[in-house]
């Protein structure tokens, strides 16, 4: 069983749409949670950390549900530049990071 599961997509949406990604994790002792963005053939870059209280950064909102072991990312008013693969990442015991296989987003004009 994978530590972190994500829908691979692709999600094909028009500009301006709202899109939501979800992921689940298996280790209830996981401590920190993140969304990373990866452009084609490039290195992953941190998009945002995810907190139990929910957090927002501009058009991006992340939520964590520890009871259900579920993480979400909501993107509002999608831009062409949002096209990328979004990686759900879980940190366990500070040293170990587990990555989902990513959800691909294509934003169309």
Partner 1 sequence: EAQVTQNPRYLITVTGKKLTVTCSQNMNHEYMSWYRQDPGLGLRQIYYSMNVEVTDKGDVPEGYKVSRKEKRNFPLILESPSPNQTSLYFCASRPSDRGDTGELFFGEGSRLTVL
Site for partner 1, rule CB under 8 A: 2, 4, 8, 32, 34, 36, 41-46, 49, 87, 91, 94-102
Which lies closer to partner 1 via its Cβ, residue 18 or residue 31?
A: 31
Which lies closer to partner 1 via its Cβ, residue 78 or residue 84?
A: 84
How would you label 23-49 residue by residue, b for 16+ Cβ within 10 Å and e otherwise? bbbeeeebeebbbbbbeeeeebeebbe
What is the closest distance, in whole angstroms, from the C-beta atom of residue 92 to partner 1 in the complex? 10
Write phi, then psi, for 90 (nearest 5 degrees): -125, 135
């Amino acid at each position: 069983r994978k530590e972190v599961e994500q829908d691979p997509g692709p999600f094909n949406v028009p500009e301006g749409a709202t899109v939501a990604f979800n992921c689940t994790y298996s280790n209830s002792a996981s401590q920190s949670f993140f969304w990373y963005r990866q452009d084609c053939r490039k290195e992953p870059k941190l998009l945002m950390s995810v907190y139990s209280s929910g957090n927002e950064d501009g058009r991006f909102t992340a939520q964590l549900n520890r009871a259900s072991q579920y993480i979400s990312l909501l993107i509002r008013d999608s831009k062409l530049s949002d096209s990328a693969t979004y990686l759900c990442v879980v940190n366990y015991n500070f040293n170990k990071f587990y990555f989902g296989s990513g959800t691909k987003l294509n934003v169309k004009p």
